[in-house]
Amino acid sequence: MILGVNVDHVATVREARKENEPDPVIAAKMAIKGGADGITVHLREDRRHINDRDLDRVRRNVKKVELNLEMAATSEMVTIALKIRPDMVTLVPEKRAELTTEGGLDLVKSGRKVKKAIDTIQHRGIPVSLFINPAIKDINISKKLGAAMVEVHTGLYANAKGKKQTAELNRVKKAVRRGTDIGLQVNAGHGLTFTNVKKIASIKGIRALYIGHSIVANSIYLGMEKAVKEMKRLIER
């Protein structure tokens, strides 16, 4: 199981003052030094944190680990992905008013648009992952659309408590099992922290965990390198 570190919120802090620091590229380098197996950036349509220059610089500086570009399935973003050529693309839903991604793709409503993006990107040799809710239906549709991977949304698990959290954990497990059974590579992420990552990391079949906010938050106290090392230690346990 590999760890992809999302450095978006380093840029969020930068944009609060519209300054040049903190620099997400430097944060990415430090995360790799701490053991990150990949770096993730989400280029939003409104460029609220990561911008085009960041993406270009991250691509030029992240070579030995996986670069995962999160983006909406729009023609603008597909063009950017084909130009930048990340190691993989994760298609995510995007709303201007949301603070963070609120749920998985609605593959019934947006299936045609998503399939067009998948076909265009994967035709150029870049594997596409779909960010989906932990539902068997979404797993099955992802396979039909031709995606190479899915990323199972763990946000409901992360926000739940007690019996409800156990139920959400079981939904994630079933989704992962179904995905691997039908030949998808299965990733997971969203809302994972130092305190709740272990149960997700114990699920067999997950290829990668994508974690950002918690690592960036704890790096304020620990430093990026130590924060990544600690998350890696918990996943490996």
Tell me the H-state helices in 72-212: 75-84, 107-123, 136-145, 155-159, 162-181, 197-201
Contact 74, 40 (CB under 8 A): no
Nearest Cα to Cα of residue 67 among 80, 54, 90, 86: 86
Catalytic residue among 9, 49, 153, 190: 190
Residue 42 known to be catalytic: yes
Beta strands in the chain (DSSP E): 2-6, 38-42, 66-71, 88-91, 128-132, 149-153, 185-189, 206-211
Q: Which residues contact 117 (CB under 8 A, 6 or more apart)?
A: 73, 74, 77, 78, 91, 128
Residue 70 known to be catalytic: yes
Residue 153 known to be catalytic: no
Catalytic residue among 9, 42, 49, 153: 42
Catalytic residue among 9, 70, 151, 168: 70
CA dist 121 and 117 (Å) reads 6
Catalytic positions = 42, 70, 190
